[in-house]
Amino acid sequence: MKTTVIISVYTISRNSFTSSDFNGYREFNSEKDASIFINENKFAVNETYIDNELNLKLIYLTTLEFNRNRENVKQLFVKGFSEDARKYWDKQEDIKNAEKKEEGFVYCKKFDDMTPEDYKGALQNVLTNITLKYISNKGVWGYLGHSFRQLEHDKYIEEVFNNVTVIIDGKEVNKWDIFSTWLTSSNARHWMDSVEDTNIEQFKEKFNTYIPELVLLGYIYNLDEHQGTYASTIKLKEKYKNRINVVV
């Protein structure tokens, strides 16, 4: 079995990545040859991955810290990232994404393969001009680009929001533009982070509770007077919190 040995030498410290770190690999035609090489050079093995279909074994050595043994490593390994490792991890990502698709996740492709159509998920009414313009860009974040988002979530939040009425200064306003703006926001991203470990019933409960806050934020983010800062958000929340009435 073809075996690739992979190593990293950190310039600063473990788990502190910099552009000057050394990343290298060395390929062997057999596991035996790789094992001899590792033992002769007294390297420690950290993790091993095997794919019989690819006829490939990856051996990740324990990372060296603070440039320890860097010059020797540079002589022994090819600098760069292994093509074998890329093949292995691309396959693992494909397997995981197939599982996610079966489970109803919206984000179930590689980042570069996601299309505006994919980001629509199960959303309908909330696909306003604001939303469509946003998902036409490459970088989609907020709720819309969150890895935890599922079709079941989309269906529920639209169902609930269909019954929401937003009144500002005594006048009913377009709730979908407000909701669309919130879905694209960093606040929506952080809110989704906070519910990642919930089941669907817990998600529903938390979303129902959060509706007044998301309406207030979605409205504020659309205002010309919003300066795009946290301080501006706090100031405008205080200004408008008693002028917005959300009927659920």
**What pLDDT, in 10s, does the model give residues 194-205?**
999 999 999 999
Let me know the angle formed at the C-alpha of 242 by 236 and 246, rounded to the nearest 5 degrees. Answer: 105
Cα gap 47→26, rounded to integer Å: 15
Q: What is the pLDDT of residue 67?
A: 82
The pLDDT value given to residue 15: 66
* pLDDT value of residue 152: 97
> CA of 237: how far to CAs of 139, 181, 216, in Å?
27, 16, 7
Listed residue (16, 36, 20, 18) closest to 28, CA to CA: 36
Residue ranges of the chain with per-residue pLDDT less than 70: 13-15
How many other CB atoms sit within 10 Å of the CB of residue 99?
A: 11
Q: What is the 3-state secondary structure (H, E, C) of 61-112?
A: ECCECCCCCHHHHHHHCEECCCHHHHHHHHHHHHHHHHHHHHCCECCCCCHH
pLDDT of amino acid 60: 98
Q: Count CB neighbours of 132 within 10 A.
A: 13
The domain locations on the chain are 2-100, 106-247
State residue 248's pLDDT score.
Answer: 87
Q: Give pLDDT, residue 14.
A: 64
Q: DSSP letter string over 195-209?
A: TTT--HHHHHHHHHH
Whole-model pTM: value is 0.81
